[in-house]
Every structure is written in structure tokens, then in C-alpha cells.
A and B are shown apart, each in its own frame.
Chain A
Amino acid sequence: MSYYDIDDILADSTKVPCKFNCSVPGLGYLEGNAGHPIKKDSKAELPLWLARILAIIGAETVENEEEELPFVELMVPDLFSSRVLNAIKSSPTSLDVHSLSAHFYELAIKWATLFSDRRLVNVLNTMMIERAQEVNNHALSIPADSAPALQSGTFLLTLDEFEKRIFRDSHTSYKDMKSWMLRK
């Protein structure tokens, strides 16, 4: 999650639905019609890098401290709706994470940090462990000598970027180990 992390930057550009808590003139371009003010209670899809900050800093601060509303209110995106969470709970390995989002884990981490969402973290923990076992199985199966195509089936198509990296790393390490054992 460093500043220069390409995957992190891409994950940050995911759009999340937001509701504006105050009307702001001049920000119409966020909604798609430039030149118009953005109305209170209107909904817009904002990229996470923008929404994350706007959801934290407040419109009113010192004068009336009891209602410190942030500029926008984040709404739960489809990605973390209870429908998806139920699907994860029922069978993590058969879930197509890639079609949900290419950066599912990174987004989930950001989301859970933003809301201190303990439930989400629990679900993700079990999901991660279950899927890691499957990833390990696939990484372990090395096709007979120097077959380039990975015919590990459709499971690999459902990995998100983070899991892909784990898969790639563990696969190469298994492969290197094997070739070292055989040739030397």
C-alpha cells in the first residue's frame, strides 16, 4: 500500500456511490453536468480517492459542533452488499472475485479501515484462508516439463489482482524448486 503502488492507485479509482450532505456550486462536473451546482441529497459516483477524504472532513465545524456532517456520505457499494457477503460466506472458493472487482481485497481493506467494520473483516479472513488453500493447490500443480499454458481450469480466472500475485509468486517458487531438484 505504498504511495507508488500501481495496484493501490488503480484500486483507489474505483467508483463508490455517495450522497452529498450539502449543496456545493461549481462541483457539477462530479455528477457529469459541469457548470451546475451539485444539490444537497443528490447521489453521485465518486472515485474512492475523492470520496474517502470528503467523507471524513466536515462541512460545518466550529460553529455548531453537535452536527458535524461530512461533505458526502458514503453508501455501501454493491461490492460489499449483504448479497455478496452471503455468497462469500456460503462458498468462498466458487466465488468469482475478479468479476466483482479486480482489486477486491485492497478495496475491502480500505473500506474496513474507513468504517472499522469488524463483520466484514471476519468474513474476509475466512474467505482469504479458504481461497489461499485453493490457490496453493493450483500453484503446486506444475505441468509436466515446460508446458507453458496453465491449465488449472477456471479457478484462476476468478482471482483478483492480489491473489494473482500470490499465485504467481508461489507458483514460480514451486517451479524453481522443482527444476533445481531435478537438474542438479
Chain B
Amino acid sequence: MYGDLVNKLVLEAKRAQQLNESSKSEHLPMYQDDLVRNTLREIEQLKRDAELLKSQQELNQVEDKVARCQHFVTLLCMERNKRGLLAYQKLRSDTLDAMAWNKHGLDSVTALAAGEGADASLSHQEEEYLKDYTQIIADMKSGEFTDIDLSGSLTPPSDVFIDVRVLKDAGEIQTEYGVFNLIKDSQFFARQADVERLIQQGFLQRL
């Protein structure tokens, strides 16, 4: 019956949620375009039903009790579908927000396209949303709080200097504090604040 389709969508969302929790990283599965579209079609049909019922009710006002029940059930089904769709979308946008905070905003905000691994699995609107949200974060960081790196690491700093090992060859990298020559498997003793970004990006590994 109505509402079964959207249930599938919610189950999908649940699975994605569990996946994120277990792997502790943001990962978005494919956008369920078909399911969403079918649910929308179902809502469309329910809407047509509701309108039909309404016009019938106006024609003969005798069966008000019965019509009310039918009308109500139709509305409830729509409500249910809406809730499922919204919850699915909310979960995805939460993941996108987390992505925007963790991955982008690194260094001088690198071009969006480069950092995006999951681009193909986003719907068009979500891409748009991600872009805008990143922009909002960037705006906020360049506004009042320029001297705090809001998207920086949330683990409290405990050491001033740390040992890091280079995981990927990247050649010479210019950071705000100086130049590092990143050769694979070489090791540095560097200020934590300098290399934090590079660790987040996965070039360095903390020892």
C-alpha cells in the first residue's frame, strides 16, 4: 500500500547512517533517484485522489463522514511520504555538511572539484547545495573569526612539535609557514600547527 515505497527509502537512509557510524567517515551512497521519483509520483496520485474526493464531496454533501475518512487517509499517506523523503534528504545533507566542514576549507579553500570523491553519487541539487554551503563556511571564516581556524582539527593540541612521516609524494608544498619538501617516507619534526592541514589531507601521518 501507500507508504511502502518510502519505507524502502528510509531503510536505505538507515543503512547509510550505520555505514557512516561504523567507518567514522563520511560516505554517501548513490542518490536513490528512482525511489524518490516513484514516491513523488505516488504523492501526485494521492493529491489527485484528494482533489477528486473533495469535488465529490461538494457534489453530494450527504456522505460527509465517509468522505472525511477517505480524505483523511489520503492526507495521512501524503504526510507519511513527505516525512520519509525529508528524513532521507536531511540525513544526506547532514553528511554533506560534515564533508564540507572536514574536507573543504583546508588551506586556501581548494577547488571543489578536486576534493570531491563522491561527486557522481550526488544529485544535481545536492551538488548545488554543497557548493553553496561551502561558500557559507568560507564566508563565515573570512568574516569575524579570521584568527580562528573554525574548520581546523577538534582534538585539543597537546604537543607543540610532533614527528610526522610523509605518506604520499607531493613535491614541494608551500604552506602558510614555510616550504616543505614532501618526499615519500621521509620524516619531519615540525610544529603541529604547521602540518595539521597536511595531515588532514592525508599527505602526512602522525607518529
* Residues of chain A at the chain B interface (Cβ within 8 Å): 3-7, 9-10, 12-13, 22, 24-27, 29-30, 47, 49-50, 53-54, 57, 59-60, 71, 168, 184
**Residues on the A chain within 8 Å of B3, using CB:** 13, 47, 49-50
- The CA-CA distance from A53 to B3 in the complex, in Å, is 15
Which residues of B in the span 1-43 have a Cβ within 8 Å of any Cβ on A?
1-3, 7, 10-11, 13-14, 17, 21
Q: Which residues in B have their C-beta under 8 angstroms from that of A7? A: 14
Q: Out of A26, A53, A184, name the residue touching B72 (CB < 8 Å).
A: A53
User: How far does the alpha carbon of A113 sit from the alpha carbon of B153 in the complex, in Å?
Assistant: 43
B-side interface mostly: helix
Judging by beta carbons under 8 Å apart, are A53 and B76 in contact? yes
Q: Which residue of A lies closest to B94 (CB)?
A: A4
Q: Considering residues A5, A6, A13, A60, which has the most beta carbons from chain B within 10 angstroms of its beta carbon?
A: A6
Partner of A49, one of B17, B76, B90: B76
Contacts of B73 in A (CB 8 A): 27, 30, 50, 54
Query: Contact check: which of A9, A22, A27, A60 meets B84 at CB < 8 Å?
Result: A9
Whether A59 and B21, one on each chain, are in contact in the complex, defined by CB atoms closer than 8 angstroms, is no
Task: Tell me whether B131 is interfacial, beta carbon within 8 Å.
Answer: no
Cross-chain contact B90 with A54 (CB below 8 angstroms): no
Among B1, B11, B69, B86, which residue has its beta carbon within 8 angstroms of that of A3? B86
Task: Give me 4 other A-B pairs in contact (C-beta within 8 A), A6-B13, A24-B70, A50-B3 excluded.
Answer: A9-B10, A10-B14, A24-B66, A54-B73
| Chain A residue at minimum C-beta to C-beta distance from B84 | A9
Residues of B within 8 A of A (CB): 1-3, 7, 10-11, 13-14, 17, 21, 65-66, 69-70, 72-73, 76-77, 80, 83-84, 86-87, 90-91, 158
Contacts of B13 in A (CB 8 A): 6
Of B7, B21, B66, which one neighbours A25 at CB under 8 angstroms?
A: B66
**Residues of B contacting A13 in the complex (Cβ-Cβ under 8 angstroms):** 3, 7, 10
Q: Which residues of A contact B90 (CB under 8 A)?
A: 4
B1 near A29: Cβ-Cβ < 8 Å: yes
Give every chain B residue within 8 A of A59 (Cβ-Cβ). Answer: 65, 69
Closest to A46 in B: B1
A6 touches B87 (CB 8 A): yes
Is there an interface contact between B10 and A6, defined as CB atoms closer than 8 Å? yes
Nearest CB to that of A59 among chain B residues? Answer: B65
List, sorted by A's number, 29 A–B pairs whose CB atoms are closer than 8 Å.
Answer: A3-B87, A4-B90, A4-B91, A5-B87, A6-B14, A6-B87, A7-B14, A9-B83, A9-B84, A10-B7, A10-B10, A10-B11, A10-B14, A12-B80, A13-B3, A13-B7, A24-B66, A25-B66, A27-B70, A27-B73, A29-B1, A30-B73, A49-B80, A50-B3, A50-B73, A54-B73, A54-B76, A59-B69, A71-B69
Tell me whether A26 and B70 are in contact (CB under 8 A). Answer: yes
Report Cα–Cα, A5/B14, bound state, in Å: 10
Nearest Cβ on chain B to A175's Cβ, whole angstroms = 12
Minimum CB–CB distance for A70 against chain B, Å: 10
